[in-house]
Amino acid sequence: MLLQGKTVVVSGVGAGLGHRIAEAVVRDGGNAVLGARTAANLAKTAAAIDPDGRRTAHLATDITDEAQCGALAALAVERFGAIDAVVHVAAWDSHFGGLADADFATWQGVLDVNLLGTLRMTRACLPALRAAGGGSVVFIGTQSAVAAPSQVRQAAYAASKGALTSAMYSLARELGTERIRVNTVLPGWMWGPPVEAFVRFTAQTEGVPEEEVLGRLASRMALPELASDADVAEAVVFLASPRARAITGQSLLVNAGELMH
């Protein structure tokens, strides 16, 4: 029970990774305070992972709005008395393209969500983390920030997540004296709703079985399969927990060994 009695704020809870992280928090004894823009998704996840409602709370939250970030942090303290960890899943990852065709107005929107939104939400939780005597902040980055994939172009997403990882180093130093740890998990190809959709689309476009497309992806890994949303959630829960008390300023690839460093 890595998170027994701990309260974890999770932003960006939908059907994929956010759901799996919230599920793992509750499974490991924690309270999960869920935020996302769509209230129905939050209610669905809360009902699935905590049917009696004792260990979850949720609030529709847009992390580009500072007041809404503050409201989610306040809900955590009001309901459970503290914040011990914050996990940032909320992201704009659906804009594709490179530099030649870049719409920089859209890039600014991606940065506002993925970089500044994450920092807004972190800052909103700082008073409670300090009051708890420290805690953990876990960013969700992407392997694309350090090794661009050949199958798709997501330059804006990769750049925003790369900037977030760079910010992690500064925050780890700034907040470390208050025993607040800051780390990043970098998923690669992660089996969950977005990659499932990519595999279906590619298979339909090429007229081949989905298993063939999935096999091509898996062949790039040292382990003979893709990491899943649940695998990434396990790494997140560890970094959020007191068992990682001496780990800060680190980036952890969860990618079945596709990229090693």
- Residues classed as catalytic: 157
Report the 10 Å Cβ neighbour count for 67. Answer: 10
The distance of Cα 134 from the centroid of its chain, to the nearest Å, equals 20
Q: Name the token pair of 250.
A: 């680190």
DSSP class of residue 180?
E
Of the candidates 123, 133, 137, 116, the one whose C-alpha atom is nearest the C-alpha of residue 248 is 137
Q: Which residues contact 33 (CB under 8 A, 6 or more apart)?
A: 7, 8, 9, 10, 56, 57, 58, 59, 72, 75, 76, 79, 80, 83
- Residue 87 β-bridge partners: 10, 138
Q: Which residue has the tokens 């506002």?
A: 112
User: Which amino acid, residue 135?
Assistant: G
Q: What does the alpha-carbon distance between residue 137 and residue 224 come to, in Å, rounded to a whole number?
A: 31
Computed on alpha carbons and rounded to an integer, the radius of gyration of the chain in Å comes to 18
- Residue 180 β-bridge partners: 135
Q: Which residues contact 134 (CB under 8 A, 6 or more apart)?
A: 178, 179, 180, 181
Of the candidates 249, 246, 256, the one whose C-alpha atom is nearest the C-alpha of residue 219 is 256
